[in-house]
């Protein structure tokens, strides 16, 4: 089994401990066992991380992009080599089943490193002819970037933020969620082994206050947060005070629209993926499933049959399809939403409570006859709870799907191509799928509109969020001054 991280933080190329920081207990949510004890970063640790990043960044930015790329590709190779062990650690950190962490978490992180390693050396500026004179542009790094992660995809988030940042010549100080602090430390180890100079990727542990102190430091040029909308509002405001760049990947309450002509089997499968993968703890989940009345009965029947067959159990068992929620606190929150849905009159189709498989398990739960005003149709639950709503017409469902502060994702299931594109065009969401759901390849930009976020991760779009353009006017003749 992979070795546990040797200390709480990774700063300037090495593990660092400062036991003066408050204790963080890392709990395996399937059993409640404490699997590691870390400490929050003290001001001295935070200072060392920021100073190290600031000191290392300029030399890194001055390297040829292919040299930076070589190191990132090597890190991707190391991740793929060690994926079985890294996946096991991710499962212990999050409780997600090993059949997911083996294929989704670190592998998508490695994809991001490969993608941005390939992309960065191809980027150049432009030359703008002005007759005698001309302008050229240079794409430059931003400087020191802060990454702050949520607990649902801790290692993927660390990779998705550090890959474009490092490829484009930035340094990063990363703060994982205190609930899932282990994967980012492994990434820091791997970067050093791959040849990344010390100081360019630092990990500091802590709760919100540690994140807040990073965001306001004068050396920080950019903040990228994955988290909830309320945290995003605070972090965005704090970053704005220093006029810092931001990427905000926040929560959602995304709609999946299933029209009468859709394949029921595909729509049911996608709705299940979009509500039950990672025990429903996925920001882009399609948690409002609007089903046209003509196929409602068929849809619910297959959904109930397939949901009842989901295997809950030991996350380290390859046969397990759903693990626990990440923590007791999250389980209590999700159970509260289930009780509220019952009290507000939604029809319980299956699930509806705790599961005896272990410590923080919640049954995959489906509610039908959900109306737009019910709490589970308005608030992000972040657990395995699907809300099925009925609709009659396209115009009606589009208006209802858009009637939310969120705008992260949306999906449409229909056999009518024209309708699919027309509806996607009308939906207010940053990341959309037609006859598919929740596939997020690194090649595709990912992010939200409205309260779900600012900026994009992945794809060419991320380049704009980790670099800036310098515009250079070149005078080729005498200066024409009227004085």
Question: Could you give the residue numbers annotated as active site?
Answer: 161, 249, 283, 457
463 within 8 A of 164, measured Cβ to Cβ? yes
Question: Taking contact as CB under 6 A, which single stretch among the options 184-192, 219-227, 291-299, 359-367 is the one that binds ligand NDP?
Answer: 219-227
Q: Which string of x and - marks every residue 223-262 that binds ligand NDP (by CB under 6 A)?
A: --xxxx--x--xx-------------xxxx----------
Rule CB under 6 A: say whether 382 interacts with ligand NDP.
yes
User: Where in 56-95 is the site for ligand NDP (CB under 6 A)?
Assistant: none
Rule CB under 6 A: say whether 274 interacts with ligand NDP.
no
CB nearer to ligand NDP: give 49 or 368: 49
Question: Taking contact as CB under 6 A, which single stretch among the options 189-197, 206-214, 316-324, 371-379 is the one that binds ligand NDP?
Answer: 206-214
Question: Taking contact as CB under 6 A, which single stretch among the options 15-23, 174-182, 359-367, 384-392 is the one that binds ligand NDP?
Answer: 174-182
CB nearer to ligand NDP: give 28 or 153: 153
d(CA 214, CA 173) in angstroms, rounded, equals: 8
Rule CB under 6 A: say whether 150 interacts with ligand NDP.
yes
Q: Which residues of 400-424 are buried (b: 16+ CB within 10 A; e: fewer)?
A: bbbebebbbbbbbbbeeeebbeebb
116 within 8 A of 73, measured Cβ to Cβ? no
CB nearer to ligand NDP: give 63 or 234: 234
d(CA 170, CA 244) in angstroms, rounded, equals: 14
* Residue with smallest beta-carbon separation from ligand NDP: 211
Rule CB under 6 A: say whether 203 interacts with ligand NDP.
no
Rule CB under 6 A: say whether 174 interacts with ligand NDP.
no
Question: HEC states along 57-116?
Answer: HHHHHCCCHHHHHHHHHHHHHHHHHCHHHHHHHHHHHHCCCHHHHCCCHHHHHHHHHHHH
d(CA 228, CA 218) in angstroms, rounded, equals: 25
Rule CB under 6 A: say whether 212 interacts with ligand NDP.
yes
Rule CB under 6 A: say whether 215 interacts with ligand NDP.
yes
Rule CB under 6 A: say whether 148 interacts with ligand NDP.
yes
Q: What is the CA radius of gyration of the chain?
A: 23
> What angle, rounded to 10 degrees, do the helices at 65-81 and 83-94 form?
80
- Per-position DSSP letters for 142-205, written without gaps between them: -SEEEEE--SSSHHHHHHHHHHHHHHTT-EEEEE--TTS-HHHHHHHHHHHHHTPPTTSEEE--
CB nearer to ligand NDP: give 40 or 114: 40
Q: What letter does residue 5 receive in the DSSP assignment?
A: P
CB 289 → ligand NDP: shortest distance, Å? 17
Q: Which residues would be at the binding site for ligand NDP (CB under 6 A)?
A: 148-152, 175, 177-179, 207-208, 211-212, 215, 225-228, 231, 234-235, 249-252, 283, 380, 382, 408, 448, 453
């Amino acid at each position: 089994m992979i070795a546990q991280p040797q200390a709480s933080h990774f700063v300037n190329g090495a593990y660092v401990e400062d036991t003066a920081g408050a204790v963080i207990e890392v709990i395996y949510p399937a059993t409640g066992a404490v699997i590691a004890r870390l400490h929050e970063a003290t001001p001295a640790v935070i200072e060392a991380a920021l100073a190290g990043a600031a000191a290392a960044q300029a030399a890194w930015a001055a390297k040829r992009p292919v040299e930076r790329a070589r190191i990132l590709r090597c890190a991707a190779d190391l991740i793929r080599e060690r994926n079985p062990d890294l996946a096991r650690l991710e499962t212990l950190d999050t409780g997600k089943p090993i059949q997911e962490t083996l294929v989704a978490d670190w592998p998508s992180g490695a994809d991001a490193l490969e993608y941005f390693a390939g992309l960065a050396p191809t980027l150049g500026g432009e030359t703008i002819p002005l007759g005698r004179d001309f302008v050229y542009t240079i794409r430059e790094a931003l400087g020191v970037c802060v990454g702050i992660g949520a607990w649902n995809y801790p290692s993927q988030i660390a990779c998705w933020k550090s890959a474009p940042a490092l490829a484009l010549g930035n340094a990063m100080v990363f703060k994982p969620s205190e609930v899932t602090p282990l994967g980012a430390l492994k990434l820091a180890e791997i970067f050093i082994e791959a040849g990344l100079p010390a100081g360019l990727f630092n990990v500091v542990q802590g709760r919100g206050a540690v994140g807040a102190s990073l965001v306001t430091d004068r050396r920080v040029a950019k903040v990228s947060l994955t988290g909830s909308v309320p945290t995003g509002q605070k972090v965005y405001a704090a970053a704005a005070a220093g006029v810092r760049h931001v990427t905000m990947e926040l929560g959602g309450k995304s709609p999946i629209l299933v029209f009468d002509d859709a394949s029921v089997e595909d729509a049911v499968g996608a709705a299940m993926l979009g509500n039950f993968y990672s025990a429903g703890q996925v920001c882009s989940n399609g948690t409002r499933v609007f089903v046209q009345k003509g196929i409602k009965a068929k849809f619910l029947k297959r959904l109930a049959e397939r949901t009842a067959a989901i295997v809950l159990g030991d996350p380290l068992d390859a046969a397990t399809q759903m693990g626990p929620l990440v923590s007791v606190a999250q389980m209590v929150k999700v159970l509260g939403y289930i009780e509220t849905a019952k009290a507000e009159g939604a029809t319980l189709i299956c699930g509806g409570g705790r599961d005896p498989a272990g410590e923080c398990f919640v049954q995959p739960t489906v509610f039908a006859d959900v109306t737009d005003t019910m709490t589970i149709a308005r608030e992000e639950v972040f657990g395995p709870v699907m809300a099925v709503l009925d609709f009659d017409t396209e115009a009606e469902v589009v208006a209802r799907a858009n009637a939310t502060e969120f705008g992260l994702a949306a999906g449409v299931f229909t056999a009518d191509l024209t309708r699919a594109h027309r509806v996607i065009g009308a939906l207010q969401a940053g990341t959309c799928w037609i006859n598919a759901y929740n596939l997020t390849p690194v090649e595709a930009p990912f992010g939200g509109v409205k309260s779900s976020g600012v900026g994009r991760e992945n794809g060419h779009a991320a380049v704009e969020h980790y670099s800036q353009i310098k515009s250079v006017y070149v005078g080729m003749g005498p200066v024409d001054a009227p004085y």
